[in-house]
Structure 1
Amino acid sequence: MTPLFDPQLPADALLPLLVLASSLLPGLVVFFLGEARVGTRTALNLGGAFLKLGLVGWMILGVYHGQRYELRMPLLDDLDLVLRVGALSLLFLVLSAGLWLVTTVYAVGYLEQSPHRSRFFGFFSLCVTATVGVAMAGNLLTFLLFFEMLTLTTYPLVVHRGTEAARRAGVVYLTHTVLAGALLLAGTVWLYTLTGTLAFAPRGFVSEVASEHPAALTAIFALLIGGVGVKAALVPLHGWLPQAMVAPAPVSALLHAVAVVKAGAFGVVLIVYDVFGIEQAAALGVTGPLALVAAVTIVYGSLRALFQDDLKRRLAFSTVSQVSYIVLGVAIVGPLASVGGIVHLVHQGVMKITLFFCAGNLAETLGIHKVSEMNGVGRRMPWTMGAFTLAALGMIGVPPIAGFISKWYLSLGALEAGVHWPLYVLIASSLLNAAYFLPILHAAWMREPSGPWAEAAARASAQAGDGGGRPRPETRWLLLLPPLVTAALSVLIGLFASMPVSPLEWSLLIVEREFHYP
């Protein structure tokens, strides 16, 4: 084991620690700032976000050329806390660091007049620290520790408003995630007693005991997937996610696109590839049931979204459906399907965070919370609804937006693997996506303005005596800039999918280098 401050430790080995510290240290300082210290708090948050993104960017070139950044710290007997950055972990790091920056900008604007901002931003930073810890975990023990830290740091964000509804949502969230932690811990301990190791490996580390303990390994797989599946919102473990929508919009964006849900999906990828190995998982017969669970979740989430009038709940059930594309891609067992699943980790994050930013803008600016209140809102907030439209079309799978790329590779992967039923699941999901997104777009752009927001706007114009002709700002620029940036990214990463170091090309690199597919 390498001591943490070994004088011979290469400087590159400290980069993973610096990535953690870039959000951990500002977050701890922010807790002790008074509410009036707005400038200091904002500088710490944005400074940490820019530093983290810069450190991650620095590592991209090294990892692209085959370098692996790793730091080991003594923890338990022969088990170390391992931070390791390879191609797969870097993809999740880029997503987390990039979207944390834009979410920080959005949160500064959204919470401008809110109480308890220091508490919020402190836990906000700790949440991202846990997320990047999950991304850099080099063994199952490290993953477990940061996965549980993620639960503890996101709970205060879910209940931040302090209302009765927020407290109820917090109880539901804790109930689900504590159960998830218990399942994950049980599976981890059981696996260690069988194998004597928890270190991630490109083809897994269970093959040596697979012939002796197939039933035990199957049970362990179920425990581990159950543990991460709660956060990935797999049916029937998804119930906490729609309930958590009582949280402020920046928290919803964080839960769906950057932190909790993505950590769960990332955990599924690690368990299938780096714990069991895809060949061994297929030999045990566990990939088929996993694919079935993913398919059920995709269709169920889309059906539930279709009947939600509350905009954030509709988006929440959309996440339940869309995140399982990642699980389906892994479970199909094939290189192209794996590429589709892994790249959707990024694509879904960028598109979904755009949708939640826009939902937050509608709520914060016009008091719109329901789909039925959105008639004509595109005329009042064209930039916000323009960003929403692009992200929604991407979710449906309209080219050339990012979502089309994911579905294309998932479809090719199913054909390559010789299984056709996932195609019908993807088609059904796309049709259902269209069914619950297109009516929103039609109402926002094609119908006459109506509802409380339109009546309030008409009264304000009449009182001002301008006949409604005076230009009005759409919303605060700190709220408008983030969705415009992420909506543009949704289009650009689809248009330039074949460019070097695009999410798609990086996913192809991961599958070739780390999963050893031909």
Structure 2
Amino acid sequence: MDIIASSKPLLAVLAALTGSILVALSGKKPNVRESWSAIAAVTMFGIIASMIPDVAPAPLGQGKTLVCQIFKVLPGLSVTFRADAFSMIFAVAASFLWIIAVFYSAGYMRGLHEHAQTRFNTCFALALFGAAGVAFADNLFTMYLFYEIVSVCTYPLVAHHQDEEGYEGGKKYILYLTTTAKGLVLPAMILIYVMTGTLDFAHDIHQGVFGAGANGTLVTILYVCCLLGFAKNGVMPFHNWLPSAMVAPTPVSALLHAVAVVKVGVFCTTRVMLYVFGVDTMQALNLGVPTAYFVSFTILTASVIALSKDNLKARLAYSTVSQLSYIILGVSLLTIDGIQGGLVHIANHAFSKITLFFCAGAIYVATHKKSISEMSGLGRTMPFTFAAFAIASLSMIGAPPVAGFVTKWKLLVGAMEMPAHSMGILLILLASTLLNVAYFAPVTYRAFFGRRPAGEAYEGIKEAPLSMVIPIMIAAVISVVIGIYPDFFMTFVKAVTG
């Protein structure tokens, strides 16, 4: 592996930070403020895209790792950024989705005449600043630092409405995420440094950072602390912050559930699993199979809870709790196809889930309806919105030709590659897929084929503003494109697994 010094990872992170500052300074000029958001998003994506020829493996690129050290704290402890194949999976998806989220947010916030739009846009950019820092972290210390930045910067977004419900959701959000990180990850990080003398990530997924003589019981405890401590990953029982955060405006929900927050959680979890503990150590200590069954409980339980929710955003929230654990499940299988299925779901889920939340927001702006039971017949009035919802739902279910099919296929193949327990994992994947159908299909069916409520006229209802509908359609189309042509993200995923 060629490692070269480059300032590009740092520049990508600073693009979002600079954008947040310029947005805050332009608060009295809405058009200028939102222009700065768009420019920052495009700039960040452009810098990240410029790294593809260097980082991507052949034939797409040169397979290099770009490193930029900011400063050293102690030997083996520094703030350093690195762009490798693993980081690019998250960084490319998040930076592109920020662009379309900027335009969608403008339409949503202006359409509902929301207050504190400057604070909203500033914190939105800061959240992407934190997410980019996590994506390009070269070590556990840097990753933890930016993980906490994401938590702090997204609190004002969750509590945006500044009412009792908003403050309660914000309090639960910050309490869960900071308590678990400080109570579990921070002590684990200190012990890892004491044991190994470094917090740097390994350069492949097999070796890990622990030597052959490491105490197996202690390593197992550290592993559990990291698995549960990165609570943004939504694993039960530390998942309740996620549905509680639904009190936030829909663009925030999309940010939380598709791009910055939850993806930061599963990215940190899987980065630590593969680059701190490593496949060899996990196999030696038999950590993979218990992890797979542990997160399978989240997959199935969250899906059952989603079935009971009539509020559309609440149903999508529990769907997110379930879907995030597919990523951890895939990695915990410790097979090549399983790991690939889990990692590619970081991008596949991002595009599909942001589509679903964008649709929920468009429905609310156009109709002020939140409950699925109130949406009968709306698909005939808002065909573009509900068509996009149907496409993204198919992705969540895992139906071809949408992106989620690639995930499910890889997970199924990865489960069959396991020397044992393959039947149990296969049954879990089958059951979860049936549950996906059970809670997504009725929404689309009711919208297009349901009978309109008696006495309720839909004549005045039309699609949300184009600034919302166009981002929805772009995200939905990309979900189909990366389902039919998955090679772009799979190139980086295959480089990770070697």
Matched residue, 2:215: 213
C-alpha distance in structure 2 between counterparts of 1:119 and 1:456, whole Å: 37
Q: Give SS of 2:80's match.
A: strand
Matched residue, 2:489: 503
Matched residue, 2:127: 127
Query: Could you say what the CA RMSD is over the residues aligned between the two structures, in angstroms?
Result: 1.5
CA deviation digits over 1:211-248, x for unaligned, max 9?
A: 341111111111111111x1100011101101000100
Deviation at 1:207, TM superposition (A): 2.9
Q: 2:106 aligns with which of 78, 96, 108?
A: 108
Q: How does 1:412-423 map to 2 (within 5 A)?
A: 412-418=413-419, 419-423=422-426
Q: Give SS of 1:69's match.
A: strand
Matched residue, 1:195: 196
C-alpha distance in structure 2 between counterparts of 1:457 and 1:93, whole Å: 41
Question: 5+ residue gaps in structure 1?
Answer: 1-9, 461-471, 513-518
Deviation at 1:142, TM superposition (A): 0.3
Matched residue, 1:430: 433
Q: How does 1:357-506 map to 2 (within 5 A)?
A: 357-418=358-419, 419-450=422-453, 455=456, 457-458=458-459, 473-497=462-486, 499=487, 502-506=488-492
Q: 1:25 aligns with which of 18, 25, 48?
A: 18
Contact residue 388 and residue 473 of structure 2 kept, 8 A? yes
Contact residue 67 and residue 83 of structure 2 kept, 8 A? yes
Matched residue, 1:350: 351
Q: How does 1:6-85 map to 2 (within 5 A)?
A: 13-35=6-28, 37-64=29-56, 65-78=62-75, 79-85=77-83
The residue type equivalent to 1:117 in the other structure is Q
C-alpha distance in structure 2 between counterparts of 1:122 and 1:221, whole Å: 35
C-alpha distance in structure 2 between counterparts of 1:315 and 1:329, whole Å: 21
Matched residue, 1:310: 311
Contact residue 199 and residue 205 of structure 1 kept, 8 A? no
Aligned residues: 483
The residue type equivalent to 1:243 in the other structure is S
Deviation at 1:287, TM superposition (A): 1.7
Deviation at 1:354, TM superposition (A): 0.2
C-alpha distance in structure 2 between counterparts of 1:307 and 1:20, whole Å: 40
Q: How does 1:104-183 map to 2 (within 5 A)?
A: 104-112=102-110, 113-182=113-182, 183=184
Q: How does 1:86-101 map to 2 (within 5 A)?
A: 86-101=84-99
Question: 5+ residue gaps in structure 2?
Answer: 57-61
Contact residue 159 and residue 166 of structure 1 kept, 8 A? yes
C-alpha distance in structure 2 between counterparts of 1:76 and 1:249, whole Å: 40
Contact residue 336 and residue 409 of structure 1 kept, 8 A? yes
TM-score by length of 1: 0.91
Deviation at 1:473, TM superposition (A): 4.8
Deviation at 1:34, TM superposition (A): 2.9
CA deviation digits over 1:471-490, x for unaligned, max 9?
A: x7522011111110000011
Contact residue 140 and residue 189 of structure 2 kept, 8 A? yes
C-alpha distance in structure 1 between counterparts of 2:275 and 2:214, whole Å: 20
Contact residue 17 and residue 125 of structure 2 kept, 8 A? yes
Contact residue 302 and residue 321 of structure 2 kept, 8 A? yes
Q: Give SS of 1:420's match.
A: helix
Q: Give SS of 1:207's match.
A: coil
Contact residue 123 and residue 157 of structure 2 kept, 8 A? yes
The verdict on how the C-alpha distance between 1:66 and 1:212 changes in structure 2, with shifts beyond 3 A counting, is closer
TM-score by length of 2: 0.94
Contact residue 90 and residue 135 of structure 2 kept, 8 A? yes
Contact residue 226 and residue 272 of structure 2 kept, 8 A? yes
Q: How does 1:314-329 map to 2 (within 5 A)?
A: 314-329=315-330
Q: How does 1:232-271 map to 2 (within 5 A)?
A: 232-271=233-272
Q: How does 1:277-292 map to 2 (within 5 A)?
A: 277-292=278-293
Contact residue 172 and residue 243 of structure 1 kept, 8 A? yes
Deviation at 1:283, TM superposition (A): 0.9
Deviation at 1:204, TM superposition (A): 4.5
The residue type equivalent to 1:33 in the other structure is S
Contact residue 103 and residue 482 of structure 1 kept, 8 A? yes
Deviation at 1:450, TM superposition (A): 2.2
Moved over 4 A (4+): none
Deviation at 1:33, TM superposition (A): 2.5
Contact residue 310 and residue 371 of structure 1 kept, 8 A? yes
Deviation at 1:102, TM superposition (A): 0.9
The residue type equivalent to 1:479 in the other structure is M
Q: Which moved further from structure 2: 113-122 or 340-349?
A: 113-122
How many percent identity over aligned positions? 37
C-alpha distance in structure 2 between counterparts of 1:328 and 1:134, whole Å: 21
CA deviation digits over 1:78-106, x for unaligned, max 9?
A: 22101000011011100110111111111
